[in-house]
A and B are shown apart, each in its own frame.
Chain A
Amino acid sequence: MSPASSVLEHIRERFSDHVLETLSFRGDDTVVVKRDALLSFMRFLRDDPEMSFDFLMDVTAVDWLEREPRYEVVYHLYSSGKNRRLRVKTRVPDDDPEVETVTGIWKGANWFEREVWDMYGIRVKGHPDLRRILMYDGFEGHPLRKDYQKDLRHPTVPSLDFPDPEKDVRRVIKATDLMRGSGREEGAQEPEKD
């Protein structure tokens, strides 16, 4: 048995009630845990001497539009002591998009979780500072959701008004006109005839 799959074995033994699925693909190990067990499971992964996943490398989400539950929140962990990686996923339904924060376990989760909220609209419960991060305050919608149209023009961005050829046309004032003292204002009303 390879050392990587022994990690999954160990996890299945310890957390058999909470682990929904484990799989190994192209050398990447993945564990899917129930949402309510996420926090205790993460704490186990960091603190258990067999696991000791001390780095949280990345947090992101995936929108599986057709599936039920719709979202997955994905955590990438790395253990510097054991030199191995693990991907942890938890599934989040569309009607209650919320996960618990892991900032209490890894401080670095702060900005990554803000990005998950910003891009996917998944609330992070207990997060110390849940603001948008890449989009601005007042932005509507969550752009990385699959049903967010790519070419949507945002209401707060002013639309491009093309000049009206009837009203907005500008007349070139000849330099010779200016020298004769005819200003822009009066010239704009009635073009002078030479």
Chain B
Amino acid sequence: MSEGTENNFPPGEYGLEWMEREGDNVILNLGPTHPATHGVFRIVVELDGETIVNCDNQIGFLHRCFEKESENTTWGQVIPYTDRLNYVSPLMNNVGYVMAVEKLIGIDVPERAEYIRTIICELSRIWDHLLCIGAALVDLGALTNFWYFWRPREDIYDLVEELTGARLTTCYTRIGGLMADLTDGWIRKARHVIRETIPNAIRDVDRLVTKNRIFMDRTIGIGPISAEDAIAWGFTGPCLRAAGVPYDLRKDQPYLVYDRFDFDIPITDNGDTYDRYLIRMEEMWQSLRILEQAFDQIPGGPINVENWDVILPPKDEVYENIEALMAHFKIIMEGIKVPPGEVYHATEAANGELGFYIISSGEGTPYKIKVRPPCFAIFSAMPEMVRGHMVADLIAVMSSLNIIAGELER
């Protein structure tokens, strides 16, 4: 800072003592609201010219007390809160949470429910990757791809709306089953989307971007992370697989019915922004493969467990049968009685490992719920990844990590 200029941003007052030092470095503040930050968070960057010397990520602007609120609701009432974690793929959070509770209770859901959960998870994975890639390209100045990807996203929104009644706040799963079965003709419509709209859009963007000279110059070698560092930082999901570690819960610890499908886990070696893009593109093709097989294999039968201690009885039973009425009343007023104990259950969400650590004291309300959001660990490693790069690269790296403030800050 040149002499005579008044310092309007004394870093010490903002908890950034490390920035108070001699030198000509410029401090740049990005956020909390900034067009390039996907969600509300703040990045304070120390620059030498245009080169990043250090950066500090500050989060918490979207903290909504998910965990505190959960301790004051019944087990079932937590499900709508989980929609708001990763709001780009809410169905995956619904599935992750109820599977953790089912693990603690010790029940298995019917096969058809497992298939439907797999289908909505894979649809959400595509949904999430479409937005991540589209938005990452917007940050690099390529707006067209965002609209190319908007079309299939809109089709997926329509499918989800038909299934759940909502486009964003789905609240579709229930402890012990699902809110509703697939509607008539849903699979036919979904087949059309996964055979026509999604592949066409991916091919369009692939042709436009993957071998594009400008895109390659902007992303190859930018924000790389080695396999050892990625593991030490707790990376999971596409960002870890881009660094060459083939860890995917769908293969390593198969849940739902993933062990019945034939699909591959793509990995690359360099761990840079370009590789993260490639991984996400390939994962969408693999998800389409899973969906095709799931639509072929899906069996008939019930979608809910036949256990009225856990799931609401059918409405016509409630009106005519005292047992069902009592079960309904008890679940609504007191909540499901989950046996005392604690479990950690992880699923492979679009960003990586989404873990739920839940503790029950045997009451109708959870004693504690802790969410392990995948992007929390990934975002904490960002300062190390961008040091020595340019400011514009910071934006490219950040959008390739796919930070979703809703699950980051809960």
Which residues of A are in contact with B by a Cβ distance under 8 Å?
25-28, 54-58, 60, 62, 74, 76, 80, 83, 85, 87, 106-108, 110-112, 119, 131-137, 143-144, 148, 150
Contact = CB atoms under 8 A, between A and B. Distances in A.
Contact of A108 (B65, B346, B380, B410): B380
A111 B67 contact: no
Given A83-B252, A107-B381, A111-B376, A58 B341 contact: no
Contacts of A132: 60
A111 B231 contact: no
A144 B68 contact: yes
A62 B359 contact: yes
B324 interface: no
A108 B357 contact: no
A150 B355 contact: no
B60 A135 contact: yes
Given A58-B370, A60-B357, A135-B63, A26 B234 contact: no
Contacts of B59: 133-134
Contacts of A131: 15
A28 to B, nearest CB: 6
A137 B42 CA distance: 14
A26 to B, nearest CB: 5
Interface in B68-107: 68-69, 72, 103-104, 106
A1 to B, nearest CB: 20
Contacts of B253: 83
Contacts of B232: 54, 106-108
Contact of A60 (B14, B63, B353, B370): B370
19 contacts: A25-B342, A26-B104, A26-B106, A55-B236, A57-B355, A58-B357, A60-B357, A74-B357, A76-B344, A76-B355, A80-B245, A80-B252, A83-B252, A106-B233, A108-B380, A111-B376, A112-B377, A133-B59, A134-B59
Contacts of B367: 62
Contacts of B252: 80, 83
Would you call the interface of chain B mostly helix, strand, loop, or mixed?
Answer: mixed
B343 A28 contact: yes
Interface residues of B, number: 44
A60 B410 CA distance: 14
Contact of B231 (A55, A83, A119, A148): A55
Contacts, number: 91
Given A62-B359, A111-B380, 15 more contacts: A26-B103, A27-B103, A54-B232, A55-B236, A57-B346, A58-B370, A76-B344, A76-B355, A85-B344, A87-B344, A108-B235, A108-B380, A108-B381, A135-B60, A143-B65
Most buried by B among A27, A60, A108: A108
Contacts of B60: 132-136
A110 B379 CA distance: 11
B99 to A, nearest CB: 12
B139 interface: no
A98 B68 CA distance: 22
Contact of B233 (A74, A85, A108, A150): A108
A148 B69 CA distance: 12
Contact of B368 (A62, A106, A110, A112): A62
A27 B346 CA distance: 13
Contacts of A87: 344
B344 A28 contact: yes
A113 to B, nearest CB: 11
Nearest to B72: A150
Given A107-B232, A111-B376, A134 B341 contact: no
A67 to B, nearest CB: 11
B247 interface: yes
A57 B253 CA distance: 15
List of 10 A-B pairs having minimum Cβ-Cβ separation, nearest first: A108-B234, A111-B380, A58-B372, A134-B60, A108-B233, A60-B370, A134-B63, A107-B232, A108-B377, A54-B231
B283 interface: no
A58 B67 CA distance: 15
B409 interface: yes
